Structure 1
Amino acid sequence: MELFPAIDLRGGKAVRLVQGDYNQMTVFSDRPEEVALGFKAQGAKNLHVVDLDGAKDAALANFDTIEKLIKTTGLFVEVGGGLRNEASIDKYLSLGAGRVILGTVAVTNYPFVEEMVRKYGDKIAVGVDAKDGFVATHGWLETSEVRGVDFCRRLRDTGVKTVIYTDISRDGKMQGTNLELYKELSQIEGLDIVASGGISSLKEIDILKNEVYGAILGKALYLGAIDLKEALKYSV
């Protein structure tokens, strides 16, 4: 299993939200690149980066910071947040991002996802953020009528290789992730699922390693509930 320590960006700072609520934000660092280099020093090979401003406003608001993260760390960096046109995708891939994550646009303009997958292949991932089982959009501020698990099957059939699936109700709560959900998602053959939201113990990582391709570690790292070096032992 691949582990992805996460850096969420707002105003150039590394922050964490609770259940995607922009009003429940904690700033952890004014220098995100130092956070990323700290992850690398502990053995991380991957990094999950989300431009929260971009997710909300559909603009590459933290582009300069993300460029610094990619160029200074040498990690495999997946980037999401506000990527709703090909120019944005190309901009990040040209920087050296390992893959980009499409979110809102996957629901609002599905033909665009199909086109980008044909053109860029496995460098296109889709972030499926679910609230009460339905896909949320626009930085989690709106909820669609699309069921998350069904949407994942459709993405697989389209040729999407990787889906980052977040149960919003668990995100940032430090109360554990939705293990039953990821067990269900693991049954979708041909789709790499990355578990995201609420992972708060090594025990959960031990369980997930048999269910999913990858897992994102966020708040638990920042609060010290999970030691990254120890967690990475499960990804061997």
Structure 2
Amino acid sequence: MIIYPAIDIKNGKCVRLYQGDPSKETVYGSDPLTVARRWESLGATWLHIVDLDGAFAGRPVHYEVIARIASTLSIPVQVGGGIRNSEDVEKYLEAGISRVIVGTRALKDPEWFSQVCTAYPGRIAAGLDARNGFVAVKGWKNVTSVTVAEVARIWNDLPLAALIYTDIARDGTQRGVNVKATESLLKITRHPVIASGGVASIEDILVLLPLVKEGLNGVIVGRALYTGSLKLEEAIRIVNYHLSGRER
């Protein structure tokens, strides 16, 4: 299982929001590239980046800094936030981004999403951000009447890299991952799932390990890494021990 350190960029800085609310922001670094290098040096094998300004604006805002991160690091990077046309998908992929995350337009324009997934098989991840089981779009501002289960079934035939499932109510709260909802999604989709939202400690990651055999690819961790309640090196070591069958 992969632990994805998260870098959320807002106003050029590395921040964390509480439940996706832009008015509840904590700044954890003035230079996202420095933060990215830190996570790589501590053993991260992937990096998860969100252009928060892009998510709210509906277009990439921090393309240059994200492209610089991708070209500097040796580990793969996945990026989301405001990516809503084919040109931006192609631009990110050509910049060295390994995986592009599409959320809002994937839901609003299924035909286009199918086309872009087919054009870049295994390079597109779908962002499934939900409040109480219903998918939210446009930077989590608008909650639709469509359920996570309904969307997951529709996307089953697409050549997706993964589904990134975020429980918005838990994001940035360190209240624990929504294991039940994640498990339910795994029973519906044929794609790998990356869980997100609520990780506070190593225990929150360990409870997800039984889901690896069901198709869980990894977990995104943000605030817990920045506050120090979870140590990246230790988390990676413990997860590797458990998955290899050894005792802690």
Q: TM-score, normalised by structure 2?
A: 0.92
Q: 1:154 matched to which residue of 2? A: 154
Question: Does 2:53 correspond to 1:53?
Answer: yes
Cα distance per residue 1:160-209 (max 9 Å; x no partner): 23000000010011111101111112223521000001111211211212
1:101 corresponds to which residue? 101
Aligned to 1:77: 77
**Is 185-194 or 223-232 further displaced after alignment?**
185-194
Residues paired across the two proteins, number: 236
Gaps of 5+ in 2: 241-248
1:107 deviates by: 1.2
Q: Which residue of 1 aligns with 2:19?
A: 19
Counterpart residue identity of residue 93, structure 2: L
Distance 1:44 1:175 in 2: 23
Partner of 1:233: 237
Contact 1:209 / 1:234 at 8 angstroms: preserved in 2? no
What code does the residue aligned with 1:136 have?
A
Q: What corresponds to 1:2 in structure 2?
A: 2
Deviation, 1:214, is 0.9
2:224 corresponds to which of 198, 220, 227 = 220
| Structure 1 stretches of 4+ moved >3 Å | none
Q: What SS does the aligned partner of 1:156 have?
A: helix
1: CA distance between counterparts of 2:159 and 2:93?
A: 19
**Take 2:41 and 2:168, find their aligned partners in 1: how far apart are those partners?**
30
Percent sequence identity over aligned pairs? 39
| Deviation sequence 1:66-104 (CA, Å, 0-9, x none) | 012111112210000011001000000001111100011
TM (norm. structure 1) is 0.97
Cα distance per residue 1:32-84 (max 9 Å; x no partner): 11111111111111000000011111121101110121111122100000110
Q: Secondary structure at the match of 1:74?
A: coil
Amino acid corresponding to residue 233 of structure 2 in structure 1: K
Deviates more, 1:199-208 or 1:154-163: 154-163
